[in-house]
Structure 1
Amino acid sequence: MPIVYLLLALVLSSFCAHAQTAAPDFFAFVLLGEGSDGQPVPMVRSVAERTTACPMLRTSAGGATIPMTARRRPPGGHFDEVTVCEARYPVAEAASVVLGNRRIDLPKVSLDTPRRVVLIGDSGCRGPAKDKPQECDGDGFAKVWPFGVLSDEEADKRPDLIVHVGDYNYRGTERGLVLPPSLTGYAAPLNVNVYDTGDLDDEDIASLPIGAAYWSQNIEGSPNPDKWSNWRDDFFRPGAKLLVAAPWLMSRGNHELCSRGGPGWFYLLDAGSTLLGPGHWQVECPPQLPPDWRPGAWPKPPAQPFAGLPFPTHTSAAFRLKLGRLNIIAVDSANAADAVLFNLDTYISQYRDVARMLAEDPTPTWVVTHRPIWAVVKRDKGGPIGLSPYGFINETQREAIDRVFGRGLPPHVTAVIAGHMHRFQAIGFEGPRPPHLAVGTGGMELSHVQPPPSPENPRAAIRVEGLDRSPAWVVGLRDFAAMIVRPVEDGTWTSVLYGTEGETLAICDSRWPGPGHKRSVCELQ
């Protein structure tokens, strides 16, 4: 045998042996949900490949062993290689998840006011997509896709709470889909746009595929269904160190819609669980095709799935975490249209629930929502336009809040925290509206700063008129980053935005904006 073939055979043999012996992935984390009694409930989740057995939860103080129970896999077989299990997690006591000879140590959880809160969002990587592909390799997930770097850095800052503002899975959630004749029964492949209600911060291609039809990646027989390997590579592997650093509040993004990464979201990360008490359960996405549509024998064109019928989506109810002198209300805004009014009744109902929570408890409160309530985008990407040189999003949430609250959110809402825009934007209002932070800088390819900074002083805040009928001062950055927020007992807070080298990019203080102050909530460094 020629030497070159012998070497090639040895290399391939070594590679195959490594692939066969590589340990299956195993992750664990603590997430917070609201129990039936209104109190926060810590839950531990384990995520293990190539096993059907659940781990045990072992407490550190008494050494008690608590069995974990399996969550229900999404149908279709695309998550069959991974088992997700859960149990209630102790308060004020560290614990470990043990699976065979493997062990993951988890943090001590406090339900007091958190002192250091990590904000991160839009952390996935697009990969070799048709539109604007993104490189997802590099030494330790280096700067081409920095989520792993940010994950390690923020874990080292010893947070008490981690808030992810949504969009975990990009490489598995493309905008378009080519459906083969074997699926449709048609003579030629069918190109469709996957359902979403707006992704309008992308500077090159605006996406608003709302129409009479509902197209989903997760229809039976889809060539690109949601699957475990994308979740593993986009979130769990690069975020492994941060996963065990502190308990998590997970917010759902539009990439986790049922038409996109929804099956994985509800299996892996959503807080819905029977562990929260009566009236709670694990949520699943509805079937993504009408019941009479069969693979290979679809109704002939121009038939369109769910035309004239309710779309098979799910919006989770808002929930509240009471953590000492800080409340956090999480709003599922995945299905709120960015620049037009769509699903408005759903969000009026959501914000009525928020209003009830705020009325019954005057504790300082943050509202966390993936899609910004107030954000400045390019003129042709948002609405209403009017005479403003800018566009604004999110129109559905803004209208819902106007109808529910009238004069605006009450003063004990001290921050609105969001992502969705792949950049940092901080807004301080001159009128009585809470500061607004968008921190969608966790790893996805960045978009340009809006409004454009002044050439003479790029760090200066820009005054924007007409942002929800109130003058606002806006600063922004196009940098990969995460934020550490420090709440104070009186309801105020300060924060620092850190870059991938640990450098300070912005400092913020909730006391800076307000009537007559004429400044944003953050200053760029």
Structure 2
Amino acid sequence: MTSSTLFSRLAAVALSLALFGCAPTTRTAHQEAQTFSAFVVLGENGVPMARVLTSAGQCPKLTLDGRDTPMHVRVGAQIIPQRPTRSAPEDSKPSDFPLLTCELAIPPHTMTAQVEGRTLPLPRAEIRRIVVIGDTGCRLKKSDHAFQSCNDPVQYPFARVAAAAAAWKPDLVIHVGDYLYRENACGADHPGCAGSPWGYGWDAWHEDFFTPAAPLLQAAPWVVVRGNHESCERAGQGWWRMMDPRPLAPGRDCNDAANDDIGDYSDPYAVPLGGDAQVIVLDTSNTAGKPIPEGDVRAAKYRDMYRKLDALSQQASYNIGVNHHPILGFETARDESGKVKVLTGNRGLQSVFGAINPLLLPPGVSVMLSGHVHAWQEVSYSTPHPTQFIAGFSGTQEDVVPLPASLPADATPAAGAVVEHHSSWVDAFGFMTMERSGASTWTVKVWDPDDRLVNTCHIDGRKSQCDLDLAK
């Protein structure tokens, strides 16, 4: 390691500690040893849920407007026996969570919330500044021979992305899914990830998400979207223990594979943004890449999801849908000759939603925010489809087959969807911001990990256009 690299890492750690409120001048050594993370996630109807992850024997008190209120145990410390995962049994292990997850719903009109010397961010009445990130973990996947250099802040820059995004001072953070990628042990011939924790327990979650995300968790409340890497066969145990804002229902913890038809699905919910606008969160973590046949449990689950999405969208005049798998964006692959093919959006969701509505999404949905594709992308349509943004570019190894700079003339992500405007940024990392300028208008900007502006876009209703318009 060069001296300049070491200095950069130390500076990044110091910045994260300062922003997260972890400096020894503000918290005692005893508190530092006990509390790993304190943050706020927004749940149904925008209810802010305070979460604390701690190794203490009991939950701390939350100080709300000067009054102490005990927090409740969501789930206790546990070593979960090894279950079937997406990896071979010899590349899997039990999930160890040596900590309490504590929580408390913060009442409306609360002005201040503190826990163990940390001030928690509370939602504003009107959300005007949003950070969007996604696909943030460091990829360690034996079956794909993919071992990202997690120890290199250039090749794995999520900590830098999070610090830069926090400095933008958002009112809200939206993570579009895929938090944990350290699934298998680092290969012996890959020094860039040597010593990395792996699997689905706390050590991997701590290293892959909670440590690099620390300044951004302190900066604003979060809307958390579940990705395919948080399905029950992957990091679903940690998702339900620590991330999802709703109560932990029996059988929905992903601990027993026999209950995966419960644990892999959850209902949509809405988070108000103020000004008659809202975000609607969809859990599509277990969708398929191919059309879903009738009789598959997913067909019934996603039909029900569409109907509930439609009903929720009628609660506000402007709706932003958020899910992990893009329904109206592009993916890529190589054919047998090595030529890059531009593929459609998620065909599993399209097959179910399209059978209900050929336009795929309810008319009240104006914008979709997604991840999964490891690039940044914008697509707007001359047909009455919502604008699609993809922000799966915040840390995970970029796609091996990047999206072409210009789309083929006849490219479409879904039958009947006619592309009017398209922009993308591939093979690079960063974050996206949305700043409200009117009842249904937003300015979108794309930033790199060093806070340099890459692109600017404008949303008007369900239409969008970027300065770098590649559809022209």
Q: Pick the TM interval, shorter chain.
A: 0.7 to 0.9
Distance 1:170 1:407 in 2: 33
| Percent of aligned pairs with the same amino acid | 28
> How much has 1:33 moved relative to structure 2?
0.5
* Alignment match, 1:467: 413
Consecutive unaligned residues of structure 2, counting only runs of 5 or more, are 1-28, 82-94, 186-197
- Provide, for residues 160-196 of structure 1, a one-character-per-residue CA deviation record: whole Å limited to 9, x for no partner: 110000100000368xxxxxxxxxxxxxxxxxxxxxx
Match of 1:106 among 103, 106, 120: 120
The answer to whether the aligner puts 1:143 opposite 2:154 as a matched pair is yes
Q: Residue 46 of structure 2 corresponds to which residue in structure 1?
A: 40
1:197-276 equivalent positions in 2, closer than 5 A: 226-273=200-247
Give the counterpart letter for 2:69 in structure 1: I
What CA distance in whole angstroms lies between the structure 2 residues aligned with 1:411 and 1:173?
42
Contact residue 172 and residue 227 of structure 1 kept, 8 A: no
Q: Does structure 1 residue 491 correspond to structure 2 residue 435?
A: no
Show the counterpart of 2:350: 398
Q: TM-score, normalised by structure 2?
A: 0.78
- The CA deviation at 1:422 is 0.9
Conserved? CA contact 1:123–1:442, under 8 Å = yes
Q: Residue 323 of structure 1 corresponds to which residue in structure 2?
A: 273
1:107-146 equivalence runs, <5 A? 107-110=121-124, 112-127=125-140, 129=142, 131-138=145-152, 142-146=153-157
Secondary structure of 1:375's aligned partner: coil
2:455 maps to what in 1? Answer: 506
Residue identity in the other structure for 1:346: K
2: CA distance, partners of 1:25 / 1:46: 7
Could you tell me which of 154, 166, 177 is aligned with 1:166?
A: 177
The aligned residue for residue 56 of structure 2 is 51
Aligned equivalents of 2:73, 2:447: Cα separation in 1? 37
Provide the residue aligned with 2:15 in structure 1: none
| Structure showing greater Rg | 1
Structure in which a larger fraction of residues adopt helix: 2
**CA offsets, 1:390-414, max 9 Å, x none?**
2212012122222223445345422
Secondary structure of residue in 1 paired with 2:432: strand
Q: 2:256 aligns with which of 251, 273, 287?
A: 287
In the other structure, the counterpart of 1:84 is 101
- 1:424-479 deviation digits (Å, cap 9, x = unpaired): 1111112111110010011001115754125xxxxxx7644343212214322121
8 Å Cα contact 2:251/2:263 also seen in 1: no
Q: Which residue of 2 aligns with 1:480?
A: 429
The Cα shift of 1:57 comes to 0.6
Alpha-carbon offset, residue 371 of structure 1: 0.7
Whole-angstrom CA distance in 1 between matches of 2:234 and 2:331: 24
| 2:387 counterpart of 1:429 | no
Q: How big is the shift at 1:53?
A: 1.4
User: Displacement, 1:374?
Assistant: 1.6
- For the Cα contact (< 8 Å) 2:333–2:401, is it kept in 1? no
- Give the counterpart of 2:321 among 355, 358, 367: 367
- After the TM superposition, which of the residue ranges 50-59 and 116-125 deviates more from structure 2? 50-59
Report the equivalent of 2:114.
96
The Cα shift of 1:502 comes to 0.7
Structure 2 residue identity aligned to 1:350: M
**2 CA distance for matches of 1:438 and 1:338?**
17
Alpha-carbon distance, 1:81 to partner: 1.2
Distance between the aligned counterparts of 2:251 and 2:257, measured in 1? 18
| 1:421-460 correspondence to structure 2 within 5 Å | 421-447=373-399, 451-454=403-406
Question: Which residue of 279, 301, 308 corresponds with 1:346?
Answer: 301
Whichever residue aligns with residue 321 of structure 2, its letter is V
Counterpart Cα distance in 1 of 2:288 and 2:140: 26
User: Is the counterpart of residue 337 in structure 1 residue 281 in structure 2?
Assistant: no
Aligned: 1:524 with 2:434:
no
- Flag the 1:492–1:411 CA change in 2: closer, same or farther, 3 A: farther
The residue type equivalent to 2:467 in the other structure is: E
For the Cα contact (< 8 Å) 1:494–1:510, is it kept in 2? yes
Residue 338 of structure 1 and its aligned partner are, at CA, apart by 1.9
Which residue number corresponds to residue 215 of structure 1? none
Closer, same or farther: CA 449–133 of 1 in aligned 2, 3 Å: closer
In 1, the alpha carbon distance for the partners of 2:199 and 2:411 equals 43
Structure 1: runs of 5 or more not aligned: 1-19, 175-223, 275-279, 291-309, 382-387, 455-460, 515-519
Residue 409 (structure 1) aligned to one of 347, 353, 361: 361
1:376 aligned partner, one-letter code: F
Distance 1:108 1:282, change over 3 A: farther
Amino acid at match of 1:231: W
In 2, distance between residues paired with 1:173 and 1:391?
Answer: 29
Q: Are 2:121 and 2:219, in contact at CA under 8 Å, matched by a contact in 1?
A: yes
Kept after mapping to 2: 8 A contact 1:453/1:462? no
Given the two structures, how large is their TM-score scaled by the length of structure 1? 0.70
Q: Given the superposition, is the C-alpha separation of residues 80 and 438 from structure 1 closer, same or farther in structure 2, using an over 3 Å criterion?
A: closer
Q: Distance in 2 between matches of 1:71 and 1:494?
A: 38
Q: Distance in 2 between matches of 1:173 and 1:321?
A: 35
Describe the shift of the 1:270–1:338 C-alpha distance in structure 2 as closer, same or farther (beyond 3 A): same
